[in-house]
A = this chain, B = another copy of it.
Amino acid sequence: MKTHSSHHTSTLAGPSINQFTTRSHNCGELRISHVGQEVTLCGWLEFSRMNKFFTLRDGYGTVQSIIPEDVCHKFNLDQLAFESILRVTGTVQPRPDGQANKSLPTGGIEIHVSQLEVLNEAKKRLPIHVKDHNRAKENLRLEHRYIDLRNRELQNNLRLRSQVIMKMRECMINDYGFVEVETPTLFRRTPGGAQEFVVPSRKPGHFYSLVQSPQQFKQMLMVGGIDRYFQIARCYRDESTRPDRQPEFTQLDIELSFTDREKVIDLIEHVLIKSWPYDDNPIRGPFPRMTLAEAMERFGSDKPDTRFGYELQNFTKLLATQLTMPEGVRKQDFRAYGVVIRAEQAQKLASGLKKSLEDIAKKSNFCKFTQSQITPDWSSGPIVRLLGKESAEALCEQYSLRPGDLLLLGWGKQTYVQNMMGRIRLAAYEALEMRNLVPARQSHAHNFLWVVDFPMFSENEETGQIESTHHPFTAPHPEDSASLNADFTDNIYNIRSLAYDLVWNGVEIGGGSIRIHNSQLQRMVLQDVLKIEHAHLHHLLDALESGAPPHGGFAIGLDRYVALLCNAASIREVIAFPKSLDENK
């Protein structure tokens, strides 16, 4: 096997992407340095004209080819449908003076063809064109994905995805000694979430479920002494057509024993930094950090986009008495926030913005919202009508509001009004961006951010019932765990957990926590606080009593993360065969 001995050199020189094929080179790699070499290429006929010139494409690029006059008559290229498969042998030649194409990596050369073989003819009139990736209707493109995938953009996305995930694995396994363990995706059905796919088994009355995450399995691994686990895990969620969701998705799932929050955060930063694909635009740690309280206060979001300012201004103290309290809001929960757009920008904004901000406000419960331009005349104007002259003046003075400035003002129940104003802030900035009134947010900006100190429990917005903010296995913050042990009442919502989210450019790309390893504490959380019938979870409790190390972990949603890395409009652009929207309905 003569090629065995060559593998070390090939590794050093990059992968041997032509080995085990009938080509000598691929269509993307030929340069001036190859001039004079005889090469064999295989690929798709992208374009031809005059039975003489043609472009051959494969997954690595395109190359211009020429059939010399004296061999032209042997081929009838113009009869051949585009996208047919060819094998071409020829000599690499420099393009004639002045004809080099600098926008194409192979633009300096052309192939002078000596042999041409049609390996597989395509039919004429394909339903979509490879170049129409961004123009053809998505459902048509998904139906004929085998054509759409030839598009350079999708090729790059899928190849980048493979590279990034490989780098993650190299980091996890080779650098840090993690063990990749495949956990089941089919498991015995226990009464579970509404979003669980159920799979009937052959045994009548018995069902499997498809896992929503490997959470329980990875905790079992910790108890089982596989103390550094990770997996690129397929997970399943039965969701109706939420726009950017798929019923199956992939996450980088990590868990380790004998660790703490700081160490997990450090690990995740290392993994992202080492697997970052853009050497010319590297990221560095440590990533900034923010408590959830600060994120909500300044950005009105648990996943703040910190690429721009326009932060929320807290007007609560100033306006506590002037504003009408929305129904159902207790005084201690009342908050008022403003976002200010300066006159010079405000006057150039599209008129549609007003309406779209109002639409956001309408969807927010327990909140009120008003937007108005500061008028030069203090005796009139909506702000004055709303607050009275005195408060309006105080507000303008304190926040240096000047005539023409646009004030976006929201008030109501704390979390609700924060969330509303967070959405208002985003929508306003988008509008400013559209008119080029502010710097555009860069997709490859490095605004990674840790959000920490989530409350351990929160109130379900619909049912009012208590639930875990993260999940029921999340450990309490050590500073607050005393309150959890005590006779908790109303302050239960003040107990912080050891959960942490990672946000990139305003998108949550992952989350994790330190878990509860003490069986009594876990039993109390399940039984006394959450009132979950713990019979369903006795397996976990048994495990925690059988020698369970302290442990914690993290999961990164890879579809979304890679979509952000690729600056793709949808996660469907980084998945080879996504379900179409129709299919999910």
Contacts and interface: CB of A to CB of B under 8 A. Distances in A.
B546 A126 contact: yes
Interface in A132-161: 144-150, 155, 158-159
Given A158-B226, A220-B577, A547 B83 contact: yes
Interface string A123-136: 10010000000000
Interface in A545-585: 545-550, 575-577, 579, 583, 585
Contacts of A225: 44, 57-59, 149-150, 155
A203 interface: yes
A68 interface: no
A200 interface: yes
20 contacts: A1-B286, A11-B174, A17-B177, A21-B259, A44-B547, A58-B227, A85-B548, A120-B517, A120-B549, A122-B546, A147-B546, A148-B224, A158-B179, A159-B179, A184-B577, A184-B579, A186-B197, A197-B208, A217-B577, A226-B576
A87 B259 CA distance: 12
A15 interface: yes
Contact of A549 (B19, B42, B175): B42
A546 to B, nearest CB: 5
A148 to B, nearest CB: 7
Contacts of A144: 542, 546
Contact of A21 (B166, B198, B238, B258): B258
Contact of A59 (B22, B226, B270): B226
A259 B250 CA distance: 31
A399 interface: no
A236 B149 CA distance: 26
Contact of A221 (B149, B165, B200): B149
A179 B155 CA distance: 10
Interface string A61-95: 00000000000000000000001110100000000
A232 B201 CA distance: 25
A347 interface: no
Contact of A162 (B159, B180, B583, B585): B180
A537 interface: no
Given A21-B263, A148-B224, A166-B169, 20 more contacts: A4-B270, A7-B175, A11-B175, A17-B176, A20-B264, A21-B227, A42-B258, A83-B547, A87-B258, A119-B549, A120-B544, A120-B547, A123-B546, A149-B223, A150-B224, A150-B225, A198-B200, A201-B238, A203-B585, A224-B576
A248 B234 CA distance: 13
A257 to B, nearest CB: 7
A15 B177 contact: yes
A185 B248 contact: yes
A197 B549 CA distance: 37
A247 interface: yes
A335 to B, nearest CB: 36
Interface in A259-276: 259-260, 263-264, 266-267, 269-270, 273-274
User: Top 4 nearest A-B pairs by Cβ distance?
Assistant: A149-B224, A15-B177, A17-B177, A83-B547
Contact of A545 (B122, B150, B259): B122
Interface in A6-50: 7, 10-11, 14-17, 19-23, 42, 44
Interface in A273-305: 273-274, 284-286
A162 to B, nearest CB: 4
A317 interface: no
A122 B547 contact: yes
Question: For the complex formed by this chain, how many copies does it contain in all?
Answer: 2
A473 to B, nearest CB: 14
A415 B120 CA distance: 37
A518 interface: yes
A319 interface: no
A115 interface: no
Given A83-B547, A184-B248, A238-B202, A146 B259 contact: no
Interface residues on A, range: 35 or more
Given A227-B59, A266-B1, A259 B20 contact: yes
A252 interface: no
A83 to B, nearest CB: 4
Contact of A269 (B1, B166, B238, B546): B1
A353 B375 CA distance: 105
A220 B7 contact: no
A396 interface: no
A543 interface: yes
Given A15-B173, A238-B202, A576 B221 contact: yes
A181 interface: yes
A188 B120 CA distance: 29
B59 A146 contact: no
A419 to B, nearest CB: 28
Interface in A190-239: 197-203, 208, 210, 217, 220-221, 223-228, 234, 236, 238
B546 A224 contact: no
B3 A266 contact: yes
A511 to B, nearest CB: 18
A256 B576 contact: no
Given A3-B270, A180-B162, A182-B575, A155 B226 contact: yes
Contacts of A165: 180
Interface in A500-521: 517-518
Contacts of A494: none
